[in-house]
Amino acid sequence: MAIHPIEFRYGTPEMKRIWTEEVRLQKYLEVESALARAEADVGLIPKDAANTIAANLNKVKVDRVKDIEDNIGHDLMAVVLSLAEQCGDAGEWVHFGATSNDILDTALALQLRDGIDIIEKRLRELKDVLVDRAVEHKHTLCVSRTHGQIGVPTTYGLRFAIWASEVGRHLQRLSQLKPRILVGQMSGASGTGASFGSSYIEIKDKTMQYLGLGAVDVSNQLVQRDRYAELVMFLANVATTLDKIGIALRNLQRSEIAEVEEVFGPRQVGSSTMPHKRNPIKSEQVCGLARVIRAQVEPALLNNTLWDERDLTNSSCERVIFPEVMILTDHTINTMVAIIQNIQLHPENIRKNLDLLKGINMSESVMMGLAKQIGRQQAHDILRTCAMNARKTGKHMIDSLIENEDIIKHLSKDEIEHLMNPENYIGAAVEQVERVVKKLRDET
């Protein structure tokens, strides 16, 4: 019976598979085999034993491991015994010299590597779709809003470019942190490697080479959790970017703004009681799940504060954290890709909001034009008076400007109308979009 919504509601099959019991067992066995090969290479165990161990990995099944664990109460030792019983006499060489977390942490690195590959792919998809939208809408004029109030004109292309640039930085961060995250260890009981004898360092390095992982420089009984905390904080940062985009889209879909809208299926129902509703449910889902992802940061940090060479408080916590944070981050990125791909813009409402304040929001443009004649501070004071007058009387800002003698003696009506045209006051918005797009496409 399914309990957690990840089981039936959230997550892609691709990412979920990585965190199944079957794949986790497979990773444990891969590490045990790599260890045996490394030990055989240095003469610590017979090469025939290493070959036998490798040949019998696929015979170990989850059900048998669980049966043994129920009997002995130790999950990793159950894996060791399940593999050993398939290997005959060679089974005595399984897990030779290793401690449980040598296998657990190194196997986790293999899972994280597969998961990070998916996250990276999803981020590239999101970056690409945001870039496409930035190009498509680089000339789409709209109002900006600061403090929730209408400001000077901007473009939708610039908005999409800003988000795309942020996702590009996440890809850079991911590239930088992978060498710190994707490492394994083979340290023995307390990090000295004594159980591996004089060949310890070589065994550790060879094991990781076989697995395609980096090797820790030093460890105790486990890989230090600052590495994993960095990963969880990175995923929380990604989730916050998605949250930011989702909040922006939800605000822009408000009935009184209505500039953008999530795609709404022909048979989709928005409300069980209000038939007219078209709610931004996908963006709301992203914003909601971002809270869950961010909530994993504190336990991930606390998992680094263990007793002495280790205790077990991180173990139960991480069994929840890693699948949840990886699956939900993948899900939210994937959901946001679909949202951006299918988002609908309503030009008529975009234009309506540009004109909503009857030109008052163009006061900065006129102020800058007037400032060239009389100075910035004086121009600001004059434009503020005109704007307040236009707001109070309901006049169009152009009329308020033309009626002001301090303005009309410095600026002609044609000059005022030019300055009041939103299309003439978007600065380098288009150029910035083009530069960001080129940079991000070159980085692909």
Residues assigned a catalytic role:
147, 271
> How far is it, in rounded angstroms, from Cα 308 to Cα 310?
5
Token pair belonging to 212: 């395609």
Token pair belonging to 342: 């299918």
Looking at the DSSP assignment, which residues form a beta bridge with residue 143? 153
Alpha-carbon distances, residue 242 vs 116, 249, 294 (angstroms): 17, 11, 12
Q: 154: closest CA among 290, 354, 291, 289?
A: 354
> How far is it, in rounded angstroms, from Cα 443 to Cα 141?
28
> How far is it, in rounded angstroms, from Cα 81 to Cα 352?
71
Q: CB–CB of 46/93 below 8 Å? A: yes
DSSP letter, residue 9: T
The three-class DSSP label of residue 141 is strand
Q: CB–CB of 340/161 below 8 Å? A: no
Chain center to CA of 192: 37
SS (H, E, C) 271-302: CCCCCCCCCCHHHHHHHHHHHHHHCCHHHHHH
Chain center to CA of 393: 48
> How far is it, in rounded angstroms, from Cα 143 to Cα 153?
4
Write out the DSSP string of 239-274.
HHHHHHHHHHHHHHTSTTT-SEE----TT--S-SS-
> Helices 21-41 and 100-136 meet at what angle, rounded to 10?
120
Report strand pairing: 141-146 vs 149-155.
Answer: antiparallel
Token pair belonging to 166: 């942020």
Amino acid sitting at position 316: S
Amino acid sitting at position 199: S
